[in-house]
Chain A
């Protein structure tokens, strides 16, 4: 079945460092891909999305490009802030047209001043 794999965390960076969180997926067909963020004690918020190959999603300085050839959707940010500390989830939409999301295991990011 469909699945998503994210890099193991936690990831600890200093403020203004470059961030990459790797995400690869396994799916038949062409799923939509998403990054969600969960700040401490809060629910999930959509960070960005891409619905077809070569699409680039971007929001709040974060970017991710849908790479069909490598089945990847890596999250990047050029300069992280302390306020970016959160858990980041990569997800894909189920091919069965139910809207079900399949999530990766989440990557905790801690940014130190």
Chain B
């Protein structure tokens, strides 16, 4: 039983296209996140939702738009893809309302390659 699952695992697309990455968690957690891992493996948070409410929106181009239809799902839509968007995107969830000091559980990642 996969706890945090993302689809697709790999995504290759051309510049200028629009694409979406889907994430679902079956852990019953209140909070979900999107992190970006660059080519040097550095991880940085992009967005966080708590019970469908956006609570973190880091400095991310507005071509990136998260959507949370319910607390078990957090999708990431990217418009007008650019070469620099190539990265691995990780979805994560954590159990405490408004975050707290607990760990996050991560999905397998989506490797996005823009050509």
Nearest residue in B to A51 (C-beta to C-beta)? B101
Nearest residue in A to B88 (C-beta to C-beta)? A43
Cβ–Cβ < 8 Å partners of A43 in chain B: 4, 90, 106-109
Nearest residue in B to A96 (C-beta to C-beta)? B99
A-B contacts at CB below 8 angstroms, number: 70
- Given known contacts A42-B108, A43-B109, A44-B90, A100 and B101 CB-to-CB distance under 8 angstroms: no
Chain B interface residue count, Cβ-Cβ cutoff 8 angstroms: 29
Cβ–Cβ < 8 Å partners of B106 in chain A: 36, 43-45
Q: Does B104 contact A (CB under 8 A)?
A: yes
Q: A105, B41: Cβ atoms under 8 Å? A: yes
Which of these, B4, B56, B92, contacts A98 with CB under 8 Å?
Answer: B56
Q: B42, A105: Cβ atoms under 8 Å? A: yes
Q: Does B70 contact A (CB under 8 A)?
A: no
Nearest residue in A to B6 (C-beta to C-beta)? A43
Q: Does B43 contact A (CB under 8 A)?
A: yes
Q: A99, B108: Cβ atoms under 8 Å? A: no
Cβ–Cβ < 8 Å partners of A36 in chain B: 106
Q: In the complex, what distance in Å separates the CA atom of A89 from the CA atom of B103?
A: 13
Expressed in whole angstroms, the minimum distance between the Cβ of A38 and any Cβ of chain B is: 8
A residues neighboring B (CB under 8 Å): 31-32, 34, 36, 38, 42-46, 49, 51, 87, 89, 93-94, 96-101, 103, 105-106, 108
A-B contact list, 25 entries, CB within 8 Å: A32-B102, A34-B103, A42-B109, A43-B90, A43-B109, A44-B92, A89-B43, A93-B101, A97-B100, A98-B48, A98-B55, A98-B56, A99-B33, A99-B96, A99-B98, A99-B100, A99-B102, A100-B99, A101-B43, A103-B42, A103-B44, A105-B40, A105-B41, A106-B41, A106-B43
